[in-house]
């Protein structure tokens, strides 16, 4: 699972590499619809967790994922959360829009769902 959105065309080879390396059934992968906002994607995740399609933590209610492919970078960022960015302190939202670099359509998980994985 990559926590940020990459366009399927003309973006990154991350999606193709991930699908190649990790066999995932089509019904088990959830793509981010970049036509929707981060709020819409978060609503979708909450619905999947609430209806039992995606397992959730009994303690927090947040979704639990079997796998996460989390990118890191040379400036110390994890997913699309860069050092000293206000989203690192986010404690309510699961998903956010962020534009740390010239890729304005970027959507990322906050640390909340990432923490549920560990």
Instruction: Work out the pLDDT band at 32, boundaries 50, 70, 90.
Output: low
Report how far residue 62's alpha carbon sits from residue 12's, in angstroms, rounded to the nearest whole number.
28
Instruction: Kindly state the tokens that stand for 2.
Output: 């990559």
Q: Residue 95, Cβ neighbours under 10 Å: how many?
A: 24
3-state helix, strand, coil in the chain (%, to 5): 30, 10, 60
- Extract the runs of DSSP E, i.e. beta strands, from 1-118: 95-97, 107-109
Sign of CA dihedral 88, 89, 90, 94: positive
For the segment 48-62, the average pLDDT, to the nearest whole number, is 81
C-beta of residue 106 within 8 angstroms of C-beta of residue 96: no
For the segment 29-35, the average pLDDT, to the nearest whole number, is 67
* Residues linked to residue 69 through DSSP beta bridges, in sequence order: 2
C-beta of residue 64 within 8 angstroms of C-beta of residue 57: yes
Sign of CA dihedral 91, 49, 63, 68: negative
pLDDT in tens, 66-110: 777 677 778 888 878 888 889 999 988 888 888 766 655 678 888
pLDDT in tens, 6-26: 455 555 555 555 556 667 776
Question: Comparing 62 with 47, which gets the higher pLDDT?
Answer: 47
Question: Comparing 19 with 56, which gets the higher pLDDT?
Answer: 56
pTM: predicted TM-score of the whole model, two decimal places: 0.67
Q: What is the pLDDT of residue 89?
A: 92
């Amino acid at each position: 699972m990559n926590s940020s959105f990459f366009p399927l065309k003309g973006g990154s080879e991350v999606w193709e590499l991930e699908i190649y390396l990790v066999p995932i059934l089509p019904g088990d992968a959830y793509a981010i619809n970049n036509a929707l906002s981060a709020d819409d994607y978060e609503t979708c995740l909450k619905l999947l967790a609430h209806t039992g399609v995606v397992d959730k933590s009994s303690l927090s209610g947040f979704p639990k994922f079997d796998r996460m492919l989390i990118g890191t970078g040379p400036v110390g960022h994890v997913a699309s959360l860069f050092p000293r960015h206000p989203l690192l302190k986010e404690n309510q939202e699961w998903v956010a829009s962020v534009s740390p670099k010239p890729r304005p359509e970027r959507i990322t998980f906050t640390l909340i769902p990432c923490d549920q994985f560990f």
